[in-house]
Amino acid sequence: MNAVLEGLEPVRVFYYFEQLSRIPHGSGNTGKISGYLVSFAKEHGLEYIQDELGNVVIFKEGTKDAPPVILQGHMDMVAEKRPDSGHDFEKDPLVLEVDGDNLTARDTTLGGDDGIALAYALAILESSEYEHPPLEAVFTVDEEIGLLGARGMDLSCLKSKRMINLDSEEEGILWAGCAGGGSIHVEIPVRYIQSEGEQVSVSICGLKGGHSGSDIHQKRGNAHILMGRFLYELDQAAEYEIAGLSGGDKDNVIPARCDARLVVSPGQKEQFFSFIESWQRDIRREYAGSDEDITVDAKMGGEGTYEVLDPSAKSRLLFFLMQVPDGVYKYSGVCRHLVETSSNLGVLRLEKDALYGVSGVRSSIESAIGHLKEKIGFLAEFLGGTAEVSGCYPAWEYRTDSQLRGLMAEIYEEMYQTRPKIMAIHAGLECGVFYQAIPGLDCVSIGPDMKDIHTPDETLSISSTQKVFAYLLEVLRRL
């Protein structure tokens, strides 16, 4: 085991978490971790299924005769790193570190979402010490990019009508519903002309970013939307043209940085930098308490002739960024404080032929998802472009008669003398796919405390990991 994790209890949970951290497993790169799970099943003499997508199901007989239970989590992690990190997610292991009660990874996402689910399940599957019903441990691929593994999986091999999903990030909450959603890919054609001036590289950076589902209510800045506002307001203060624009590569991550290449007209440099200073001061005041470190970083390049957007393309780009829905669109009128509908412009690229953008939309109401798709699509069409929808996944509807949830709430209260919260989450969980495919499925989602998932600041609480594992064992014993 990695020296920094040695001695942590429960030993086998942290052992497996460390083993998994050595295997690159960003979304779209889960082949090796899928193979690791198969090797584990063979080593321990457990029946397993591995499908063509790489999803793996491992079966284990119960210690007593009882109806089976599904334990479920996903293999892939969001692969994000700090701008100055040289980490290669295709081949490098994560470098784990302990900071007090928190487990982190050096300069990268930790992968606690959802590596801790796999570590919990493997520790249980290998042991002969724990009492449990028959187990169907389901490990899916590519959850973070549209629940692709779960949506493409043949679930007829599963016999259970009870499922414990291990993909939540707040201990003491029993999650009982989640949003559905999808990705909207926008393409707006552009044209270029030649323009003389001084090139400037501008970055909107210093933002916190975060998960576009569980963090969307934090009112953090979206670097793409802020760049659009910056460029629109700069247009009123100084003469410039747009030569390049890029930011983000995942629509379920609130972008923390956006980069632009501008060409400032001769004689406009003083107005340009004066505007940057005042704009940064104003925007930090607006985001005080939620994203107060927003920074506009500008570096001058050389003078010359450059390819820039023609006036029409520039106007359409600014119009799109000023009008595209982003952030919380509507709160639920039924569940207090629950975000019902949201949109996140997570990917933005200005290429030779078009401006490309990808928005992740979520809602617990199917018709609201449809409305956002139509709204963004209509905006794209109005600007002469197109919009396509992909990666749609269903919502997990709240079930009023959940015997599993009732028992799990009772056990938590007995163990920790406090009643757990019963909540729905705005993030997308694979529970919706399973709930739709398995008639009568009774499902609950739990997990230990994690913060800043999908960012290099991601942390996993060691004490909460221990507490939730003890709780999971007791739930399985009682089931």
Interatomic CA distance for residues 160 and 80, integer angstroms? 35
- Residues 150 and 173 reside in one and the same domain: yes
Q: What are phi and psi of 350, to 5 degrees?
A: -105, 110
Which of 362, 393, 424 is the endpoint of a domain? 393
Q: What pLDDT is stored for residue 2 in this prediction?
A: 52
Q: Do residues 426 and 344 make contact, with C-beta atoms less than 8 angstroms apart?
A: no
- Residues 139 and 45 reside in one and the same domain: yes
Q: What are phi and psi of 351, to 5 degrees?
A: -110, -175
- Residues 328 and 448 reside in one and the same domain: no
- Residues 380 and 422 reside in one and the same domain: no
Q: What pLDDT is stored for residue 27 in this prediction?
A: 96
Quick check: is 326 in a domain? Answer: yes
Interatomic CA distance for residues 252 and 217, integer angstroms? 14
Quick check: is 329 in a domain? Answer: yes
Please give the model's pTM, rounded to 2 decimal places: 0.77
Neighbours of 365 (CB within 10 A): 15
- Residues 167 and 195 reside in one and the same domain: no
- Residues 432 and 382 reside in one and the same domain: no
Quick check: is 4 in a domain? Answer: no
What are the average pLDDT values for consecutive 10-residue runs of the chain, which has 479 residues? 77 96 97 98 98 98 96 97 94 96 97 97 97 98 92 96 96 93 96 96 96 91 98 95 96 95 92 95 96 95 95 98 96 82 97 97 90 97 96 85 96 97 88 93 97 94 98 98
Single out the residue of 195, 187, 241 nearest to residue 352, CA to CA: 187
- Residues 221 and 161 reside in one and the same domain: no
- Residues 436 and 446 reside in one and the same domain: yes
- Domain with residue 130: its CATH number is 3.40.630.10
Q: Return the active site residues.
A: 76, 143
- Residues 113 and 166 reside in one and the same domain: yes
Residue 133 sits at the vertex; the CA angle it makes with 132 and 138, to the nearest 5 degrees, is: 95
Quick check: is 416 in a domain? Answer: yes
| Measured CA distances, 445 to 18, 71, 78, 162, 422 (Å) | 23, 10, 20, 11, 10
Which of 355, 371, 393 is the endpoint of a domain? 393
Q: What pLDDT is stored for residue 388 in this prediction?
A: 96
Single out the residue of 398, 392, 385 nearest to residue 370, CA to CA: 392
Quick check: is 243 in a domain? Answer: yes
Q: Do residues 108 and 96 make contact, with C-beta atoms less than 8 angstroms apart?
A: no
Interatomic CA distance for residues 441 and 479, integer angstroms? 15
Q: What pLDDT is stored for residue 3 in this prediction?
A: 64
Interatomic CA distance for residues 95 and 109, integer angstroms? 10
Token readout for 220 is 């953090």
| Measured CA distances, 248 to 80, 81, 142, 152 (Å) | 10, 12, 18, 26
- Residues 365 and 422 reside in one and the same domain: no
Q: What pLDDT is stored for residue 462 in this prediction?
A: 98
- Residues 424 and 332 reside in one and the same domain: no
Which residues lie across from 74 on neighbouring strands? 140
Single out the residue of 401, 431, 392, 440 nearest to residue 177, CA to CA: 431
- Residues 345 and 230 reside in one and the same domain: yes
Quick check: is 36 in a domain? Answer: yes
> 238-275 burial string, b = 16+ CB within 10 Å, else e?
bebbbbbbbbbebbbbbbbbbbbbbbbbeebeebbbeb
Which residues lie across from 343 on neighbouring strands? 327, 361
Neighbours of 185 (CB within 10 A): 18
- Domain with residue 230: its CATH number is 3.30.70.360
Sign of CA dihedral 133, 136, 140, 143: negative
Interatomic CA distance for residues 173 and 449, integer angstroms? 10
Q: Do residues 441 and 97 make contact, with C-beta atoms less than 8 angstroms apart?
A: no
Total number of domains constituting the chain = 2
Q: What pLDDT is stored for residue 1 in this prediction?
A: 45
Residue with tokens 């996944």: 393
Quick check: is 47 in a domain? Answer: yes
Quick check: is 98 in a domain? Answer: yes
Which of 349, 374, 393 is the endpoint of a domain? 393
**Residue 385 sits in which domain range?**
183-393
